[in-house]
């Protein structure tokens, strides 16, 4: 009987294959540009109120959690409330809401920083705004719809995934790529920024004479789970290297796939420009078994050096890359300073020069930034890629 | 002579019938996919088939772990994550021995070589099996107390074990610089690479491969890089032998007196009790063996996969195993070794082959930009549709 | 005599007692703010109750825990998308969403029922895989066909390239459309000393502090009460009696002339329709819908709540659903907050894992207590 349910679907699908919709993207791809901004910072005073920080646990990604720990090390637990959202945040959004509301209902909390801003953030912001209007929400790396997020949050900081569409392809070309493989799955392509980046990449590949391969992988939150998605990557990368040759650059939009992707690219001799969330500590240590004893733990330059050694052992130096520091850690640190300035009335959260200044000061790296879709409170940030 | 032939023919017919319509449908479907993959795509059919075997061998022990509890009347053991975390503890223990001072104990230093190669694999088992036996005993005792609700309790015990272990992973007193978190400097990372330890220790034992990488993929010296599977068909001999050997042992065990007593306890507990079979103890021991098989299963899985995955990775691992054995024709009260082998091969082959084939089809079509999202959607629909169809037909097949 | 009565009482109410003890302990140890907790628990209770109730009918009809309600939730979401596309506001929007979702839910329920009739005894795992399968079709409909084929046009719904829906849909037109029609806030006020934080000076010079304990959305309450009454009435009709008979023993029911397969399909259809409405109630309170994920969280937590309330795979009452929802969400909320209290643990992530561990452990313990009680009851009779 179930066949009857499948049948119409198969017909629809085959119809699709037969006539094919008009190719999306193509002509109307806009390559982003930044307006020039000069960095400046001011003294924002002391932390004399409470700031809430919501991050994931380390198993979701170490960077954000340690970023919050660094802030606590500076300001102490009296003024920083650190909470975590559940590992399966996709199915436990009510818990995320509960954690955020618990902070929002504390009258001493004046600002809340959420990194990464997983689904559940937007309902929580809307619920908190019903009860009080003086709370400042600063979001790092939102995963909900950017238009809605921009309308509801005070400040959004995100690595510039649109601009990276350009920089990654340029870097891949420099590293000698002839083919560029982009792994993703439909749920991610329903995210505006990620699907626009894919279109930018495809367009630039065409212009640069690089073959663009749009590959699908299983959704790690779906039926096969993280294990199935990772195993697929391990199997598929060698297949594609056989098909397209060694000068193939691999990229995936999903954090869980970075480790197998790095491993398989290194073993197969391929190119890997940078991760979905560029940072020396994202993917590389787990994929390559980087030795990090307690003395160099947390030292990004030393960690990069260790990764570089492992890659050089395989004779692949210069074909792998990442960013100098973890931008999410920098964003959390900067967000605390910006929240202080805003609460003390010393700056506005749409002052791009000030935001750039604090990001550069906290991370000790050069950054460029610009607004997303003309939302002055939604800033896309980019830093430099360093080959390993 | 012709009598003999007739008997043979009759047997073959029986075999075909007992294989069940559902399984034949899946086999037919797989053949169709393989045909499409071989003719219409750039994928190497041999590679695909090899990947199917590797995945089946990887997951096989976890599926085998479900047999005994079903036969003993405890239903599907959703609690296998309990065994899985024991296996992971054993695995991490074996890797920590590579540190300068394992667990901060200086008298343990200098045993680095033990953690690599076959000895590491054995040490992992040596720690994992007793631990899982112990926890399995407790789990079996608990299930005895909640008769009638075993499956739901099992789900939550499995989840609880995974969540509880996360605390241990964060607090484990490990010192190996390849295990600890790179920024925090303590706890265990969520992915541990087995490259220099015992990756593919089973897979590569007596491996057979045909074909090789395309010229572009060779390293500068002209050799295929180490630890990369060559293209073409690949037979993970050791892995398959380990799995099929375990299946064989299980089949032999089921034929022994103990094995038949265990099945009797599941089939008709009242009767079994009346002829003196200790029903409760049978059920408990079936859970113990199941937990131990799961512990070994995850070590085998990880050596083939190349990574240990800690924290939440084990949370949903019971569900594909359950789907496999049901697809193989088992039911809540009946399960055999053949159900495990057929079910695992079919389920894992479906998982392995459908996506690359559709991916390649779309990549080669002139509408690839418009259809970019289709492959994964098509996989979800086709793969789960076929499984559902097989489940809906299962009652008409072997029963 | 007295002692035995006490023991009987304790064992009868073992689960609520366990929950009260755990929650009280958590509140005391973590020194929690009671008013914030009660606000959160009330909100969760009214948001989830309808979904949990939608599981009741299939259990009575012997179909076990209906993991298929994921499909019903999808139907509800399709209703909400349609309303958001047309921007029908408030209560009217909710009604339109419900009306849109019902035929879809009925169709899905009918198909699911047909499937479940062919997979008797394996409904649970079939339901889970059916959820995956339906997810594929859902993605096909709303990632590829929405825009070019399905005539959605609103800018806050469609992706800029005109094909596929956005990952998040902000339900601006129907947000809290049911809840906000009439709410009764729960407040207490106490006279306090000068200088207490949050205290306000009164006309007579005394200081009064108002504490909010949450609010009761009257219409949502009414809808839930109505559903309970309807379910209660259903089981007093001929159809309800038939469903019950099918659940108790399909063989006997068949002999008695009841169309077993038809009854089972009706039970699933009812459950799907209710799940669709339940999802609409859930999302109008959350105010934001994750287009491709919101339905996935439905089955698991609703089922856990029902189990905590004392339901089994074969036996359930409305009270199981109501108490289960209340206890489960109280525990969920309290443990979530308590485990991350810096006074208890200085590491929030360990708190997070302990929270999960305790949650699963307590659900497991609850199941064990229920199983043990039903066994000793069986032995006594």
DSSP string for residues in C210-247:
EEEEEEEEHHHHHHHHHHHHHHHHHTTSHHHHHHHHHH
Total beta-carbon pairs less than 8 A apart between chain A and chain C: 147
Tokens 């008997």 appear where? Answer: B7
Alpha carbons within 13 angstroms on the beta-carbon side of residue C100 total 22
CA pair distance B304, B243, nearest whole angstrom = 12
At A262 the pLDDT is 92
CA pair distance A88, A83, nearest whole angstrom = 15
> Is C129's CB within 8 Å of B387's CB?
yes
Chain C segment 271-310 residues within 8 A of A by beta carbon are 286-288, 290-293, 296-297, 300-301
* H or E element, residue C281: helix C260-286
> Is C133's CB within 8 Å of B171's CB?
no
Residue C158 Cα distances to A144, B371, C85, C187, C192, angstroms = 14, 17, 9, 42, 53
CA pair distance A256, A273, nearest whole angstrom = 17
- Nearest CB neighbour to B181, from listed A58, A202, A243: A58
Residue B16: pLDDT band with limits 50, 70, 90: low
Residue B15: pLDDT band with limits 50, 70, 90: low
Please say whether the beta carbons of A178 and A248 come within 8 A. Answer: yes
Chain B segment 208-247 residues within 8 A of C by beta carbon are none
| CA-based nearest residue to B60, from B286, B389, B347 | B347
Considering only alpha carbons, which residue of chain C is nearest residue B155?
A: C364
> Is C337's CB within 8 Å of A102's CB?
yes
Q: Does domain C15-182+217-371 have CATH number 1.10.3470?
A: yes
Q: Which CATH class is domain A50-160+327-387?
A: alpha beta
A partners (3+ CB pairs within 8 A) are: B, C
Is pLDDT above 80 for B234?
A: no
> Is C286's CB within 8 Å of A97's CB?
yes
Least confident of A201-205, A277-281, B287-291, C16-20: C16-20
Q: What is the DSSP string of C168-212?
A: EEE-TTTTTTTGGGSEEEEEEEEEE-TT-TT-EE-TTS-EEEEEE
* H or E element, residue A372: strand A367-372
Q: Which two tokens stand for residue B71?
A: 């036969």
CA pair distance B72, B333, nearest whole angstrom = 8
As a whole number, mean pLDDT of residues B173-194 equals 84
How does the average pLDDT of chain B come out, rounded? 82
Most confidently modeled of A193-197, B129-133, B324-328?
A: B129-133
Is pLDDT above 90 for C75?
A: yes
At A20 the pLDDT is 41
Is pLDDT above 50 for A16?
A: no
Burial letters for C89-110: b for 16+ Cβ neighbours within 10 Å, e otherwise? ebeebbbbbbebbbebbbebbe
- A50-160+327-387 and A161-323 share one fold: yes
C partners (3+ CB pairs within 8 A) are: A, B
Tokens 């990372």 appear where? Answer: B189
> Is B359's CB within 8 Å of A9's CB?
no
Would an 8 Å CB–CB cutoff place B331 in contact with chain C?
Answer: yes
Q: Which CATH class is domain A161-323?
A: alpha beta
Would an 8 Å CB–CB cutoff place C164 in contact with chain A?
Answer: yes
At B227 the pLDDT is 46
Backbone angles phi, psi at A82, to 5 degrees: -110, 125
Tokens 């019902």 appear where? Answer: C102
As a whole number, mean pLDDT of residues B9-19 equals 71
Residue B18: pLDDT band with limits 50, 70, 90: low
Q: Report pLDDT digits (tens) over A101-131.
A: 988 988 889 999 998 888 889 999 999 998 8
Tokens 């108002």 appear where? Answer: C210
The pTM score is 0.86
> Is C337's CB within 8 Å of A87's CB?
no
Least confident of B105-114, C124-133, C217-226, C279-288: B105-114
Angle (CA) C349-C351-C352 rounded to 5° is 65
Minimal CA separation from A98 to chain B, in Å: 20
Q: Number of helices (H) and strands (E) in chain C: give both, helices first.
A: 14, 5
Beta-sheet pairing, B191-193 with B307-309: antiparallel
Backbone angles phi, psi at C141, to 5 degrees: -65, -45
Cis peptide before A116 (omega within 30 of 0): yes
Burial letters for C26-62: b for 16+ Cβ neighbours within 10 Å, e otherwise? bbeebebeebbbbbbbbbbbbbbbbbbbbbbbbbbbb
> Which of A10, A73, A231 is the mutation pick for testing B, counting most B CBs within 10 A?
A231
User: Which residues sit opposite A55 in a β-bridge?
Assistant: A84, A115
CA A15 to chain centre: 36
* Domain parsing of chain A, residue ranges: 50-160+327-387, 161-323
Largest CA-CA distance found in chain A, in angstroms, rounded: 70
As a whole number, mean pLDDT of residues C180-200 equals 79
CB < 8 Å to A88, chain B: 312, 315
Q: Report pLDDT digits (tens) over A207-266.
A: 889 999 888 898 887 777 788 888 889 888 888 888 888 889 999 998 889 989 998 898
The contact set of C with B (CB < 8 A) is 115, 118-122, 125-126, 128-130, 132-133, 135-137, 139-140, 143-144, 164, 307, 312-313, 347, 349-350, 353-354, 356-357, 359-361, 363-364, 367-368, 370-372, 374-375
Angle (CA) B332-B336-B339 rounded to 5° is 85
- Nearest CB neighbour to A227, from listed B185, B193, B309: B309
Would an 8 Å CB–CB cutoff place A110 in contact with chain B?
Answer: no
Residue C94: pLDDT band with limits 50, 70, 90: very high
Secondary structure class of B367 (helix, strand, coil): coil
| CATH for the B23-29+44-214+225-396 domain, from 1.20.120, 1.25.40, 3.40.50, 1.10.3470 | 1.10.3470
At B394 the pLDDT is 58
Please say whether the beta carbons of C109 and C270 come within 8 A. Answer: yes
Backbone angles phi, psi at B307, to 5 degrees: -140, 145
Q: In what order do the strands lie in the sheet with A248-252?
A: A211-216, A179-184, A248-252, A271-272
Residue B84 Cα distances to B74, B143, B311, C7, C291, angstroms = 19, 18, 11, 39, 34
> Is C356's CB within 8 Å of B394's CB?
no
Query: Which long-range contacts (C-beta less than 8 Å, at least 24 apart) are formed by C182-188?
Result: C182/C217, C182/C218, C182/C219, C183/C215, C183/C216, C183/C217, C183/C218, C184/C215, C184/C216, C184/C218, C185/C212, C185/C214, C185/C215, C186/C38, C186/C42, C186/C212, C186/C213, C186/C214, C186/C215, C186/C216, C187/C211, C187/C212, C187/C213, C188/C213
Q: Which two tokens stand for residue B369?
A: 């930009």
CB < 8 Å to A86, chain C: 352, 356
Angle at which helix C123-139 crosses helix C69-86, to 10 degrees, equals 30
Please say whether the beta carbons of C100 and C82 come within 8 A. Answer: yes
Q: How large a percentage of chain A has pLDDT more than 90?
A: 19
The residue among B129 and B329 whose pLDDT is bigger is B129
CA pair distance A366, A134, nearest whole angstrom = 33
| CA-based nearest residue to B163, from A56, A63, C359 | C359
| CA-based nearest residue to C310, from C366, C358, C228 | C366
Classify residue C151 as exposed, middle or buried by CB count within 10 Å of its CB (0-12, 13-18, 19+): exposed
Strands (E), B124-207: 191-193
Would an 8 Å CB–CB cutoff place A85 in contact with chain B?
Answer: no
> Which of A14, A93, A123 is the mutation pick for testing C, counting most C CBs within 10 A?
A123
Considering only alpha carbons, which residue of chain A is nearest residue B365?
A: A17
Would an 8 Å CB–CB cutoff place B395 in contact with chain C?
Answer: yes
CB < 8 Å to B220, chain A: 315
At A14 the pLDDT is 47
- What is the phi-psi region of residue A34: left when phi exceeds 0, alpha when psi lies from -120 to 50, beta otherwise? beta
Q: Report pLDDT digits (tens) over C133-173.
A: 898 899 888 888 888 888 888 888 888 878 888 888 888 88
Would an 8 Å CB–CB cutoff place B372 in contact with chain C?
Answer: no
* Domain parsing of chain C, residue ranges: 15-182+217-371
Is pLDDT above 50 for A23?
A: no
Chain B segment 130-169 residues within 8 A of C by beta carbon are 142, 145-149, 152-153, 156-157, 159-160, 163-164, 166-167
| CA-based nearest residue to C330, from C67, C11, C16 | C16
Minimal CA separation from B42 to chain A, in Å: 7
Is pLDDT above 50 for B226?
A: no
Secondary structure class of A54 (helix, strand, coil): strand
Chain A segment 234-253 residues within 8 A of B by beta carbon are 234-236, 238-239, 241-247
């Amino acid at each position: 009987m179930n066949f009857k349910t499948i049948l119409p679907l198969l017909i629809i699908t085959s119809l699709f294959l037969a006539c094919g919709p008009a190719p999306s993207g193509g002509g109307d791809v806009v390559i982003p540009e930044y307006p020039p901004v000069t960095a400046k910072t001011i003294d924002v005073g002391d932390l004399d109120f409470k700031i809430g920080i919501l991050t994931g646990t380390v198993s979701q990604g170490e960077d954000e959690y340690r970023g919050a720990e660094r802030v606590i090390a500076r300001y102490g637990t009296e003024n920083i409330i650190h909470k975590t959202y559940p590992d399966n945040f996709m199915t436990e959004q009510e818990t995320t809401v509960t954690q955020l509301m618990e902070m929002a209902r504390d009258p001493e909390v004046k600002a809340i920083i959420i990194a990464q801003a997983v689904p559940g953030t937007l309902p929580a912001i809307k619920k908190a705004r019903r009860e009080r209007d003086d709370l400042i929400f600063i979001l790092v790396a939102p995963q909900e719809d950017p238009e809605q997020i921009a309308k509801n949050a005070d400040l959004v900081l995100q690595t510039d995934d649109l601009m990276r569409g350009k920089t990654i392809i340029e870097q891949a070309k420099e590293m000698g790529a002839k083919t560029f493989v982009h792994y993703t799955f439909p749920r991610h392509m329903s995210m505006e920024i990620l699907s626009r980046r894919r279109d930018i990449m495809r367009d630039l590949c065409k212009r640069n004479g690089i073959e663009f391969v749009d590959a699908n992988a299983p959704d790690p939150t779906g039926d096969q789970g993280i294990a199935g998605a990772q195993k697929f990557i391990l199997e598929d990368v060698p297949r594609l290297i056989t098909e397209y040759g060694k000068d193939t650059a691999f990229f995936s939009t999903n954090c869980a796939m970075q480790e197998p992707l790095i491993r398989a690219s290194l073993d197969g001799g391929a190119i890997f420009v940078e991760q979905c969330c560029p940072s020396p500590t994202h993917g590389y240590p787990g994929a390559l078994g980087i030795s990090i004893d307690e003395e160099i733990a947390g030292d990004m330059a030393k960690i990069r050096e260790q990764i570089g050694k492992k890659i050089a052992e395989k004779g692949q130096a210069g074909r792998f890359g990442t960013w100098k520091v973890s931008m999410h850690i920098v964003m959390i640190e900067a967000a605390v300073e910006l929240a202080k300035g805003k609460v003390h009335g010393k700056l506005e959260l749409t002052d791009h020069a000030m935001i750039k200044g604090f990001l550069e000061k906290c991370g000790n790296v050069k950054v460029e930034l610009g607004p997303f879709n003309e939302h002055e409170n939604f800033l896309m940030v980019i830093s430099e890629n360093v080959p390993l | 002579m012709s009598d003999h032939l007739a008997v043979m023919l009759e047997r073959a017919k029986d075999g075909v019938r007992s294989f069940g319509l559902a399984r034949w449908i899946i086999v037919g479907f797989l053949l169709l996919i393989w045909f499409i993959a071989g003719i219409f795509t750039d994928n190497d059919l041999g590679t695909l088939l090899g990947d199917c075997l590797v995945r089946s061998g990887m997951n096989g022990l976890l599926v085998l772990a479900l047999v005994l509890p079903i036969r003993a009347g405890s239903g599907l053991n959703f609690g296998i994550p309990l065994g899985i975390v024991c296996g992971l503890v054993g695995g991490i223990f074996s890797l920590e021995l590579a540190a300068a001072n394992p667990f901060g104990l200086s008298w343990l230093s200098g045993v680095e070589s033990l953690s690599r190669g076959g000895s590491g694999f054995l040490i992992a088992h040596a720690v994992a099996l007793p631990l899982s036996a112990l926890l399995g005993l407790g789990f079996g005792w608990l299930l005895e107390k909640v008769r009638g609700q075993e499956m739901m309790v099992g789900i939550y015990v499995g989840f609880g074990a995974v969540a509880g272990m996360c605390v241990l992973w964060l607090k484990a007193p490990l010192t190996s610089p390849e295990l600890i978190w790179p920024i925090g400097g303590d706890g265990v990372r969520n992915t541990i690479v087995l490259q220099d330890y015992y990756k593919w220790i089973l897979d590569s034992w007596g491996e057979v491969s045909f074909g090789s990488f395309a010229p572009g993929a060779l390293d500068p010296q002209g050799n295929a890089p180490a630890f990369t599977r060559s293209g073409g068909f690949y037979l993970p001999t050791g892995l398959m032998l380990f799995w099929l050997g375990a299946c064989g042992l299980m089949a032999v065990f089921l034929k022994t007196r103990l094995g038949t007593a265990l099945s009797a306890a599941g089939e008709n507990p009242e009767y079994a009790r009346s002829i003196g079979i200790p029903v409760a103890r049978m059920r408990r021991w079936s859970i113990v063996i199941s937990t131990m098989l799961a512990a070994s299963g995850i070590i085998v899985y990880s050596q083939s996969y190349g990574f240990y995955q800690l924290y939440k990775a084990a949370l949903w691992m019971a569900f594909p195993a359950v789907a496999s054995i049901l697809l193989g024709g088992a039911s809540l009260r009946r399960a055999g070794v053949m159900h495990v082998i057929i079910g695992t091969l079919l389920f894992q082959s479906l998982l392995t082959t459908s996506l690359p084939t559709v991916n390649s089809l779309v990549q080669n079509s002139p509408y690839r930009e418009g259809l970019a999202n289709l492959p994964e959607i098509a996989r979800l629909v086709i793969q789960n549709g076929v499984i559902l169809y097989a489940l809906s037909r299962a009652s008409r097949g072997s029963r | 005599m007295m002692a035995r009565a006490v023991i009987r009482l304790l064992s009868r109410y073992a689960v609520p007692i366990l929950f009260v003890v755990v929650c009280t302990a958590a509140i005391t140890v973590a020194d929690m703010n009671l008013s914030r907790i009660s606000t959160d628990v009330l909100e969760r209770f009214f948001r989830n109750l309808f979904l949990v109730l939608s599981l009741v009918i299939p259990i009575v009809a012997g179909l076990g825990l209906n993991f298929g309600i994921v499909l019903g939730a999808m139907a509800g979401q399709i209703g909400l998308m349609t309303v958001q596309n047309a921007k029908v506001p408030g209560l009217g929007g909710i009604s339109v969403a419900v009306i849109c979702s019902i035929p879809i839910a009925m169709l899905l329920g009918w198909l699911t029922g047909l499937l479940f009739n062919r997979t008797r005894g394996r409904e649970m795992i079939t339901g889970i895989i059916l959820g995956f399968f339906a997810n594929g079709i859902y993605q096909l409909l709303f990632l590829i066909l929405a825009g070019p084929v399905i005539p959605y046009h609103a800018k806050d719904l469609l992706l800029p390239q005109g094909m596929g829906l956005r990952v998040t849909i902000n339900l601006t037109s129907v947000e809290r459309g049911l809840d906000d029609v009439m709410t009764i806030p729960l407040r207490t006020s106490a006279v306090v000393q000068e200088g207490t934080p949050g205290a306000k000076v009164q006309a007579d010079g005394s200081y009064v502090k108002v504490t909010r304990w949450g609010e009761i959305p009257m219409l949502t309450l009414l809808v839930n009460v109505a559903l309970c009454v309807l379910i209660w009435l259903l089981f007093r009709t001929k159809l309800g009696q038939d469903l019950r008979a099918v659940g108790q023993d399909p063989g006997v029911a068949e002999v008695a002339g009841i169309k077993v397969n038809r009854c089972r399909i009706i039970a699933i259809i009812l459950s799907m329709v209710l799940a669709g409405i339940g999802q609409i109630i859930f999302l109008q309170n959350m105010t934001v819908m994750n287009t491709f994920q919101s339905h996935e969280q439905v089955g698991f937590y609703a089922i856990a709540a029902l189990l905590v309330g004392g339901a089994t795979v074969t036996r359930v009452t409305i009270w199981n659903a109501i108490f289960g929802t209340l206890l489960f969400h109280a525990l969920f909320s309290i443990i979530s907050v308590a485990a991350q209290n810096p006074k208890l643990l200085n590491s929030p992530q360990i708190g997070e894992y302990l929270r999960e561990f305790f949650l699963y452990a307590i659900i497991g313990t609850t199941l064990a207590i229920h199983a043990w009680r039903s066994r000793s009851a069986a032995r006594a009779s």
